[in-house]
Structure 1
Amino acid sequence: MTLPLAIALAMALDAAFGEPGWLWRRAPHPAVLMGRAIGALDSGWNAGPHRRARGIAAVALLLAAALALGLALAALPGRWAEVIAGAVLLAQRSLSDHVTAVARALRRSLPEGRAAVGLIVSRDTGAMDAPAVARSAIESAAENLSDGVIAPLFWFALGGLPGLLAYKIVNTADSMIGYRTPRHEAFGWAAARLDDLLNLAPARLTALMLRAFGSGRWRDIAADARRHRSPNAGWPEAAMARALGVALAGPRSYDGALRDFPFVNPEGRRALTSDDIEAATRLLWKVWGLALALIIALAALLWR
Structure 2
Amino acid sequence: MWLPESLSLTGSLFVLWLSLGIDRYLGEPKPALHPVVWMGKYLQAMGTWIAPASEHERADAAMPYFVAGILAWILGAILVLALSFGFIFFLTSLPENYAWLDIIFSACVLKSLWTWSLLAREVAAVESALSKSLAAGRERLSYLVSRDVTQLDAVTVRESAIETLAENLNDSVVSPLLWFALAGLPGAALYRFANTADAMWGYRGERGGRVWTWSGKWAARVDDVFSWPGARLTAILLYLVARRPLQLSLLSEVKKTDSPNGGWPMAAMALILDVRLAKPAVYTLHESGRLSDAQDTAHAIQLGQRVTYLCCVLLSVFCLLWYPLW
Report if TM-score (shorter chain) is over 0.5.
Answer: yes
SS of 2:123 mapped into structure 1? helix
Contact 2:181/2:319 (8 A) holds in 1: no
Residue equivalent to 2:4 = none
Residue equivalent to 1:18 = 27
- State the Cα distance separating 1:250 from its structure 2 match: 4.1
Residue equivalent to 1:68 = 82
**Between the two proteins, what is the percent identity of the paired residues?**
35
Offset from partner CA, 1:197-250 (integer Å, 9 cap, x none): 101110000000001133363321121111112111000001101111101124
- State the Cα distance separating 1:191 from its structure 2 match: 0.4
Contact 2:201/2:215 (8 A) holds in 1: yes
SS of 1:249 mapped into structure 2? strand
Aligned residues: 291
Structure 1 residues not aligned, in runs of 5+: 252-259
Structure 2 residues not aligned, in runs of 5+: 1-6, 53-57, 93-101
- State the Cα distance separating 1:299 from its structure 2 match: 5.8
Q: Which amino acid aligns with 2:167?
A: E
When residues 41 and 302 of structure 1 are mapped into structure 2, their CA distance, relative to the original with a 3 A threshold, is closer
What is the rounded CA distance, in whole Å, between the counterparts of 1:302 and 1:261 in structure 2? 41
Residue equivalent to 2:255 = 226
Q: 2:138 aligns with which of 111, 114, 120?
A: 114
SS of 2:131 mapped into structure 1? helix
Q: Which amino acid aligns with 1:8?
A: W
- State the Cα distance separating 1:167 from its structure 2 match: 0.7
Contact 2:119/2:165 (8 A) holds in 1: yes
- State the Cα distance separating 1:127 from its structure 2 match: 2.8
Matched, 1:277 2:297: yes
What is the rounded CA distance, in whole Å, between the counterparts of 2:182 and 2:269 in structure 1? 25
What is the rounded CA distance, in whole Å, between the counterparts of 2:263 and 2:320 in structure 1? 34
When residues 58 and 303 of structure 1 are mapped into structure 2, their CA distance, relative to the original with a 3 A threshold, is closer
Residue equivalent to 2:277 = 248
SS of 2:241 mapped into structure 1? coil
Residue equivalent to 2:110 = 86
- Larger mean Cα displacement after TM superposition, 174-183 or 152-161: 174-183
Matched, 1:185 2:213: yes
Q: 2:37 aligns with which of 18, 24, 32?
A: 32
- State the Cα distance separating 1:262 from its structure 2 match: 2.8
Contact 2:160/2:279 (8 A) holds in 1: no
What is the rounded CA distance, in whole Å, between the counterparts of 1:293 and 1:193 in structure 2? 30
What is the rounded CA distance, in whole Å, between the counterparts of 1:45 and 1:118 in structure 2? 27
Offset from partner CA, 1:41-75 (integer Å, 9 cap, x none): 22234458411111111111111111111112123
What is the rounded CA distance, in whole Å, between the counterparts of 2:25 and 2:181 in structure 1? 21
Offset from partner CA, 1:243-276 (integer Å, 9 cap, x none): 111011242xxxxxxxx22311111112x22221
What is the rounded CA distance, in whole Å, between the counterparts of 1:302 and 1:189 in structure 2? 33
What is the rounded CA distance, in whole Å, between the counterparts of 2:258 and 2:322 in structure 1? 40
Contact 1:11/1:86 (8 A) holds in 2: no
When residues 156 and 222 of structure 1 are mapped into structure 2, their CA distance, relative to the original with a 3 A threshold, is same
Contact 1:18/1:92 (8 A) holds in 2: no
Contact 1:221/1:242 (8 A) holds in 2: yes
What is the rounded CA distance, in whole Å, between the counterparts of 1:250 and 1:53 in structure 2? 32
Q: Which has the larger radius of gyration?
A: 2
What is the rounded CA distance, in whole Å, between the counterparts of 1:79 and 1:112 in structure 2? 42
Measured on the aligned residues, the alpha-carbon RMSD in Å equals: 2.1
Contact 1:4/1:295 (8 A) holds in 2: no
